[in-house]
Every structure is written in structure tokens, then in C-alpha cells.
């Protein structure tokens, strides 16, 4: 009977399989998948970790899922965002590292005694949970049209220990919300509809279409949001809206024409791409 391969042998084979499938980070993905199956950290893979037949078979199945371009986060069942662990599952938008730029700006603005923030279109709750973890006196109301997203945000808030300060409701943007907040955060769908077929398979085939599709020019939801800001934010409040690279000038015009807000600032992410519109009332 043949023995299972050693961890280094299994990693080499998995890396080649993922590389051939067009996966962007084949080595790192293989390490994370194997570490999960062996119950060790990535560095533990090189400290004599062994595979038995069961763990090797499960790892091989995981690698094949990834080779079919299923997102790594869905295979692992979790992701990391702004230093916190969050559960993810099919049917709910997977957080992107680029959105950490919005969270960083929000934390720069929020004081330790900040009162209320809205997270509109919360997905798995990554923004709301990251803000609540880092500002212990902040209360948040998170909304999403998806019942699956609402339930997952509740679970993630509980896992992060902030469930008592994060209320989650099923709603379209701010529909039904009463009262004005110190801060409004929104990561809306902003991909132009015609560009969705050209996205990477991990995004195109696995993220919910309604979390990606921003209409013909990608700005349909941002226009709707701009029309509601006056009723959502306190007079000295702030709105942070994630946008796509190259959308900055159009977003400035939208907030000027619809919300009457001038001087909208466009901030870039660490890759130098336009990422967040900073709207001050």
C-alpha cells in the first residue's frame, strides 16, 4: 500500500495543479488549504506535519475545488478582514482587502465616544464588525436586502463579541431607518453591468450578482444613496462610499447634483486606485 505524500510533496503537487488552473497565488492557497486539513498554522507545515490517507484525500478534494476557481474563502469557510476573523458562505459577498481603506478612514474620523453609524449593504458584516471591535462605544445599524447576509452578519457580530452593539435589519440601503447617524458607510455594487462577464471566475461565478451589478455605468446605487444622505447624517457627519477606480469624478458630480454636496474627496487604496468617496455634509 502506498504511503500518503509528505506535506512538502503534497504542497508541490497542489501548487502545480493550481498554477495550471490559473489561480493567482497557487503556493499560498495550497498552504492555507493544507494547514486547515492538518489543524496547524502555515509555518507548521514545515515542522514535520504528516498526512494520513483521510487528510490527504480531503486536501486533494479542496485543491480540486480551488482549481475550479471556487474562492479560497468559501473552501476555508472564513476570511480575515482588518484583523478579525469572519465566517463566509455561498450567496453572500466575500469581503475584499481593498475595503479596509474605508474602515481605516472611518476609524480616523470616529472618536472613542462616537455614537451611531450605519453600514448600508453590509454583506457578511465586515465593515460593521471591524468598526465595532475598534470603537467600543460605537453603536451600529447594518442593513442588507439579502436574508442570508443579515443572518451571517448577526453571526459574525456575535463571534466578534459585538452582537449587542450591532443591530442588523433586512432593508434596501436606509429604507425604514429613523434618526441621523454620525457616520454612514456603504460598499455598494459599482461594477458596470457590461463588465461583469469579464470578471475573474471567483467573483463572476460566486459573488451574488446583485452585490456586483451597479447598472449601466456602475453608479446606479450610488445615485440612490446620494438622494437619501440629507436624512441619514447629522449636520457635521460623514459618509464613506466605496467606488471603483476611475469613478471619482462621476461620483463627485453625483453628490453635487443630487445631494448638493461640494468638495467630495476621493481617497486611494494602497494600490493607488480610487477607492473611497469621502462626503462631508
- What is the per-residue pLDDT for 49? 67
Please report where in the chains the cell 456586483 appears, as a residue. Answer: 212
Average pLDDT (248-261) is: 95
102-127 confidence digits (pLDDT tens) = 999 999 999 888 799 999 999 999 99
148-194 confidence digits (pLDDT tens) = 999 999 999 999 999 999 999 999 999 999 899 999 999 999 999 99
Inform me whether the pLDDT recorded for 61 exceeds 70. Answer: yes
Average pLDDT (220-224) is: 97
- What is the per-residue pLDDT for 45? 79
| Confidence class for position 95, pLDDT limits 50, 70, 90 | very high
- What is the per-residue pLDDT for 50? 75
User: In whole angstroms, how far apart are CA 74 and each of 91, 148, 209?
Assistant: 10, 15, 16
- DSSP state, 276? E
- What is the per-residue pLDDT for 24? 94
31-60 confidence digits (pLDDT tens) = 999 999 988 888 777 766 678 889 999 999
The whole-chain average pLDDT of the chain stands at 94
- What is the per-residue pLDDT for 113? 82
* Burial bucket for residue 12 (CB in 10 Å: 0-12, 13-18, 19+): middle
Q: Is 48 helix (H, G, I), strand (E, B) or coil?
A: coil
Average pLDDT (225-243) is: 93
Rounded to whole angstroms, the maximal C-alpha distance in the chain is 74
Which one is the CATH code of 90-280: 3.10.20.600, 3.40.50.150, 3.40.50.850, 2.40.50.100?
3.40.50.150
Question: Shortest CA distance to 277 belongs to which of 213, 184, 209, 144?
Answer: 184
Q: Which three cell numbers stand for residue 101?
A: 481603506
- What is the per-residue pLDDT for 1? 45
Question: Shortest CA distance to 117 belongs to which of 98, 94, 93, 143?
Answer: 143
CA distance 74 to 130: 20
Amino acid at each position: 500500500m502506498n504511503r500518503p505524500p509528505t506535506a512538502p510533496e503534497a504542497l508541490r503537487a497542489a501548487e502545480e495543479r493550481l498554477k495550471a488552473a490559473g489561480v493567482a497565488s497557487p503556493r499560498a492557497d495550497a498552504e492555507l488549504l493544507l494547514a486547515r486539513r492538518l489543524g496547524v498554522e502555515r509555518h507548521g507545515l514545515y515542522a514535520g506535519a504528516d498526512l494520513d490517507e483521510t487528510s490527504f484525500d480531503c486536501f486533494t478534494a479542496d485543491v480540486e475545488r480551488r482549481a475550479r476557481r471556487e474562492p479560497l474563502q468559501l473552501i476555508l469557510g472564513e476570511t480575515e478582514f482588518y484583523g478579525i476573523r469572519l465566517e463566509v458562505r455561498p450567496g453572500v459577498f466575500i469581503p475584499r482587502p481593498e475595503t479596509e481603506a474605508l474602515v481605516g478612514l472611518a476609524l480616523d474620523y470616529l472618536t472613542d465616544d462616537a455614537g451611531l453609524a450605519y453600514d448600508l449593504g453590509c454583506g457578511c458584516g465586515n465593515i460593521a464588525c471591524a468598526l465595532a471591535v475598534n470603537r467600543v462605544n460605537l453603536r451600529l445599524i447594518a442593513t442588507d436586502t439579502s436574508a442570508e447576509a443579515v443572518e451571517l452578519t448577526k453571526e459574525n457580530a456575535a463571534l466578534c463579541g459585538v452582537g449587542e452593539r450591532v443591530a442588523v435589519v433586512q432593508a434596501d440601503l436606509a429604507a425604514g431607518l429613523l434618526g441621523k447617524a454620525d457616520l454612514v458607510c456603504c460598499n455598494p455594487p459599482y461594477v458596470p453591468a457590461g463588465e461583469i462577464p469579464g470578471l475573474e471566475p471567483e467573483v463572476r461565478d460566486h459573488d451574488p450578482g446583485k452585490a456586483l451589478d451597479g447598472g449601466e455605468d456602475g453608479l446606479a446605487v450610488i445615485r440612490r444613496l446620494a438622494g437619501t444622505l440629507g436624512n441619514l447624517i447629522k449636520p457635521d457627519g460623514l459618509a464613506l462610499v466605496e467606488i471603483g477606480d476611475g469613478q471619482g469624478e462621476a461620483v463627485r458630480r453625483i453628490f453635487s447634483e443630487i445631494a448638493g454636496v461640494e468638495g467630495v474627496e476621493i481617497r486611494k487604496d494602497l494600490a493607488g486606485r480610487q477607492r473611497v468617496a469621502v462626503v462631508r455634509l
